[in-house]
Chains A and B, each alone.
Chain A
Amino acid sequence: MAITTTTSSAAPRGAAHARPAGRRPRSPYPAWFFLPAAIIYTIFFLVPTFASFYFSLTRWSLFEFEFIGLENFVQFFREPALVTGLVNTVVYGVVTSALKVVLGLLLGVLLTSQIIARGFLRSVVFFPVLVSTIGVGITFQVLMDPFGGPINEALAAVGITGPGWLTDPSLALLSVALVDVWKGVGLATVIYIAGIVSIPQEYFEAARVDGAGPLHQFRHVLLPLARPATVTVIILSLIGGLRSFDLIWAMTRGGPGFTSDVIASVIYKQYQAGFYGLSTAGNVLLFVLVTAIVLPLSRFLNRKEVEL
C-alpha cells in the first residue's frame, strides 16, 4: 500500500516515459499455465474458506457434525466474554494504531534529520520488529510482574508504587497495547522515513524562503505530504490491532478473568474447549468485522488523498 500510493503521487514526472504508450502487450503464456497455481489456490485457500463458512453452521466434534443453522452465531453473541472482547478489540486496535501513528511520525522526523548516529538509532528503533512476539510477551510478563518485576522495582527505587500492570483489570489491556506499540512502532517509523524522504527538498526550501520556522514546515509541508504514509500506517496497524492475538495470549491469556479478552482470544478459547463449530462462527464474524471497519476506512482515507 505504502509503495503504490507514494509512487503514484510522484508519478506525473516519471510515468510518461517509463510506460510504453499503447495497449498492454499480450501475455506470452497460454491460459493453462495458470492452472497449477489455480489448483493449489483452490485446494488450499478457496476450499477451506468455504468449508469454514459451512462448518460455522454446524455443531462439530471432529468425529461428527450436525447442521444447526445460525445457532452458533446466536450462541456467540450470547457469549459473556464477547461483549468485553468486542470493546477490547476496538480499544486495542485504536490505541495501538493511534500511538503508532504519533510515535512513528515523530521518530520518522527525528531519524530523517541530521542527527548523530542516525543509522544506529534507526536500527535500534527497528530492532523490536525482528523479535518473536511470544518472546516479547513472555519477557514483558516478567518485567511487568508487580511483585519483584524489574519495572516496579525501578519505580520503587524512586519512591513510586508501581501498579499491577497485567493483574489490574483496568490496566491489563493497556499494558499489552503499550508493549505492542513498543514492538510495532519500528515498522511505522520505517514507513514514515520512506514517506518523508520521498518529499522533494524544494518544498522545504520554498517554505524556508517564505520564512517558515521548523514548526510551520512540519505542520504545513511535511504533514500533508506524508499523508500516504500516514494512511498506510493507520490501516496496517488497525488490521493488526483488530486481529491481534499472540501478544495478548502470551502476556495475560485474556486475564485476569476475561478483562483483557479480545475477539481472537475468545475464538481461541472456544476452539480449545472443543467447540469447533462455535469458534469457526467466531472466525467468520471476525472476518466480517475487520472487513467492515477497514474497507470503508481505507476508501475514505484514500479518497481524501485524491482531493488534496
Chain B
Amino acid sequence: MRNQTSPRGRLRMIALAAGAVLALAGCSAGSLGSSGGGGGGVNLTWVLDSNASTMKAAESVAAAFKAQNPDITVDLESRPSGSEGDNIVKTRLATGDMPDLFLYNSGSLFQAIGPVQNLVPVTDEPWVGTLEENFKRVVTADGNVFGAPFGSQMTGAILYNKRIYAELGLQIPKTWSEFMANNAAVKAAGRVPVIQTYGDTYTSQLFVLGDFHNVAASEPDFAERYTAGQAKFATSPAALKGWQHLEELHDLGYYNEDFPTAKMEEGMRKLGDGEGVHYPMLTNGITTLAVASPEGAKDIGIFPIPGDDPAKNGLTVWSPSAVYIPKTTEGAQLDAAKKLQAFIASPAGCAAYAQGVRPNGPFAVDGCELPDDVLPAVRDFQSFVDASAFSPALEFLSPIKGPALEQITVEVGSGIRPAADGAALYDEDVRKQALQLGLPGWD
C-alpha cells in the first residue's frame, strides 16, 4: 500500500507545481504579448456551420483579411448546421456565450434570433450602401441593418442536362405544359424525367418553394397577406400549384425509382450522367454536382420552375447567409470584428471567398464579380439576375416558414397525401409558427 501511494503523491506534487509554473508563465507571456504587439494584437473567434465548403471559403477570407490586418488573427470555430445548429446559436446568444462573430441565416430564421436584443447594428457603416437591395432587407429588423453577406445568392430552380436536351431536340420550357411535354419526351427516350431525392428530405420542398416567383407574379400581395394570416396555400390557386405539380409528377411515374431513399449526391450523379434530366434543387447543390459528376457538371444548366405565363418566367432567389456580431462583443474586439465584417462585404472579400470555393451564384455586394471558371449553371443564374427576372423567396418576404414543410412535401411527392390535403396541413404548420412569433392577426 505505502509503496503505491508515495510515488502517486509525489507525482501529484510535481503536477501541481508544473501547473502553477505553467499558469504563471501563461500569465506573463500573455501580458507581454498584448503590450509588446504594438497596437494590440486582437484574436477574433468566428463561428460558422461545419459544412466543408463554408469552412474552406472562410479560411480563405480569414487569410486574406490577416494579410491586410496583420495584428488581427481570426480563429474559426465550427458548429453543426440545420436545426441543431439553430438551437446552438440561440442558446449561445441567450446565455451571452457567443464569440465575436457568427455566420447565420438571413430572412425568416434571422428574425427568430432576436436581432434587436442580441446583435450589434451596422446601419451606419459605409459598406451597407453597396449591398444588394433584397439582401439588405432580409438582415434588417426595426429599421436597422445587422449583417454582412457571406457567400453567393442561391436560386431554387430546375437543373437540367443540356447534352440530353440537345440529343432529344428539346427547348427550354417557359410554361408548365411545355415542361410536361419535355418530360413525356424524356420518358419515351428511356430516361428519368425528374429526379427526386427524399433521402435528404429538404430537397423535396423545391417544387413548392421554388415556385414562389410564379405565385408572386399572379398574386403580387401574397407574401403580405400570408404574413397577416389572410392568404393560405390551400385556398390560393397560384400557391396550390406547386403542390399539385409535385403530386402530378409522382402520379405519372416521372420520378426515379429510388426516390424514397436517394440522397442529394446520388441525384446530382444521375443528373450529370444523363440518367435523369431535370432536378429541381437549390444552386448550392452545384458544389456537390462538381464533385459527384465532374465531367457531367459542364453540361448542366438551369431554368426557372415554369408557371402559366411565359412572359413572367423568372427565378426564385435565396439571399446568402450573413455574418453578425453579438452585443457581447465589446471594445477592441468589436472594432476588429467590424473591420472583418466590412472586409467580408467588399469586393476583396468576395474575391477571397471565390478563391476558397467556386461561387454558385452572384454575390450580394455591388462590384463583386464572378470568377471566369464558374460552371454554366451559375452563368445561367447570373443572366436571369442581370435581366431582373427574379423574385426573392417567400421566406425572405415573410418571417413565417412552417418547420414541417419538408415532411409534408415528402408525403405529397410520395403519393401518401393528396396535394390539397398537404397544402392545408402546411397552412396549419404555418399558423403554429406565426403564433410562436406573436404576429398580429393569427389568434
A binding-site residues for B, Cβ under 8 Å = 59, 61-64, 66, 75, 78, 80-81, 145-147, 164, 166-167, 169, 253-259, 269, 271-275, 278
Contact = CB atoms under 8 A, between A and B. Distances in A.
A66 B438 contact: yes
Given A78-B428, A146-B261, A61 B436 contact: yes
B260 A146 contact: yes
B201 A274 contact: no
Contacts, number: 89
Given A167-B261, A253-B201, A62 B94 contact: yes
B118 interface: yes
The secondary structure that dominates the B interface is helix
B93 A256 contact: no
Contacts of B435: 59, 75
Contacts of B411: 256-259
A278 to B, nearest CB: 8
Nearest to A168: B260
Contacts of B84: 272
B407 A257 contact: yes
A63 B114 contact: yes
- Which residue among B86, B118, B261 has the maximum number of chain A CB atoms within 10 Å of its CB? B261
Given A61-B114, A169-B416, A257 B94 contact: no
Nearest to B95: A62
A59 B260 CA distance: 36
Contact of B87 (A147, A269, A274): A274
B87 A272 contact: yes
Given A147-B261, A256-B260, A272-B403, A80 B428 contact: yes
A62 B117 contact: no
A256 B258 CA distance: 13
A157 to B, nearest CB: 19
10 contacts: A59-B435, A61-B90, A63-B118, A147-B262, A167-B261, A255-B410, A272-B84, A273-B83, A274-B90, A274-B112
A62 B417 contact: no
B410 to A, nearest CB: 5
A164 B416 CA distance: 14
A275 B432 contact: yes
Contacts of B258: 146-147
Contact of A59 (B416, B425, B436): B436
Contact of A269 (B91, B112, B404): B404
B201 A61 contact: no
B257 interface: yes
Nearest to B86: A274
A273 B433 contact: yes
